């Protein structure tokens, strides 16, 4: 009898946690581009664990200066949680951007479901692609901030300091307590 009650309690607890995660991360569906830009990193972190095996795909897709700069960041900066590299598929899902808009990209994001650290550097294919990329990164920054500000004030303070930066055809978003160090590494490498 006790064992049966424990199993039932465990199942109910698991269901409650799943519902809580869904409720935190999902807003009303205002269209596919809106849904993609408002997707919370925290709500999808558990589904992204499978993307760890795609790191090699990411490295092939981002061969170039940005990938090398990202490797320097990884060697010099300690992130507060385990990270995954951005893939073209993840960029499309998170920011709503197409591969055809990007000449190259590199970035990573924390996958623990709590830590919101992420960095993404994108070199736009053309000058006309810069503004849509900047707007997509800005929309993601605002969406992440709007979700997190009510739950984890210390993470919200880090997100609040983030900026979307444009330098020629390069567009970047860095959300991290080490943002200044990360930006310095990328900017020095791209000179």
What pLDDT digit, counting tens, does each position of 98-126 carry? 999 999 999 999 999 889 999 999 999 99
Quote the tokens at residue 155: 């993470």
pLDDT at site 49: 41
Q: Tokens at residue 179, please?
A: 């943002």
Q: How many residues does the chain have?
A: 191
Q: Are 102 and 160 in contact (CB under 8 A)?
A: no
Mean pLDDT rounded to a whole number for the chain: 76
Both tokens of 73, joined, read 């960041």
Question: What digits encode the pLDDT tens for the residues 38-54?
Answer: 333 333 333 344 444 44
pLDDT in tens, 44-86: 333 344 444 444 444 344 345 899 999 999 999 999 999 999 9
Buried b (16+ CB within 10 A) or exposed e, 106-139: bbbbbbbbebbbbbbbbbbbeeebbebbbebbbb
Query: What range defines the domain where residue 84 resides?
Result: 2-190
Confidence of residue 2 (pLDDT cuts 50, 70, 90): low
Cα distances from 178 to residues 28, 44, 71, 115, 181, in angstroms, run 33, 23, 15, 13, 5
The answer to whether 155 touches 115, Cβ cutoff 8 Å, is yes
If you average pLDDT over residues 136-161, what whole number do you get? Answer: 91
Residue 28 has pLDDT above 80, yes or no: no
Q: Can you read off the two tokens belonging to residue 88?
A: 């073209």
How many structural domains is the chain composed of? 1
Sheet of 102-110, strands arranged across: 83-85, 102-110, 118-124, 170-175, 164-167
Nearest to 41 by CA among 171, 186, 173: 173
Tell me the mean pLDDT in the region 140-168.
91
Please give the share of the chain, as a percent, with pLDDT higher than 90.
57
């Amino acid at each position: 009898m006790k064992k049966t009650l424990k199993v039932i309690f465990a199942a109910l607890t698991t269901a409650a946690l799943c519902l809580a995660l869904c409720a935190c991360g999902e807003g009303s569906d205002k269209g596919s581009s809106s849904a993609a830009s408002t997707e919370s990193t925290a709500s999808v972190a558990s589904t992204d664990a499978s993307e760890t095996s795609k790191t090699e795909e990411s490295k092939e897709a981002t061969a170039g200066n940005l990938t090398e700069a990202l490797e320097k960041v990884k060697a010099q900066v300690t992130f507060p949680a385990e990270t995954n590299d951005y893939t073209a598929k993840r960029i499309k899902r998170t920011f709503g951007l197409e591969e055809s808009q990007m000449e190259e990209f590199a970035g990573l994001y924390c996958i623990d479901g709590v830590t919101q650290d992420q960095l993404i550097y994108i070199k736009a294919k053309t000058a006309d692609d810069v503004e849509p990329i900047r707007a997509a990164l800005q929309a993601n920054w605002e969406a992440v901030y709007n979700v997190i500000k009510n739950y984890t004030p210390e993470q919200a303070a880090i997100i609040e300091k983030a900026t979307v930066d444009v330098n020629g055809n390069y567009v970047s978003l860095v959300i991290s307590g080490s943002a200044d160090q990360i930006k310095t590494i990328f900017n020095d490498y791209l000179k």
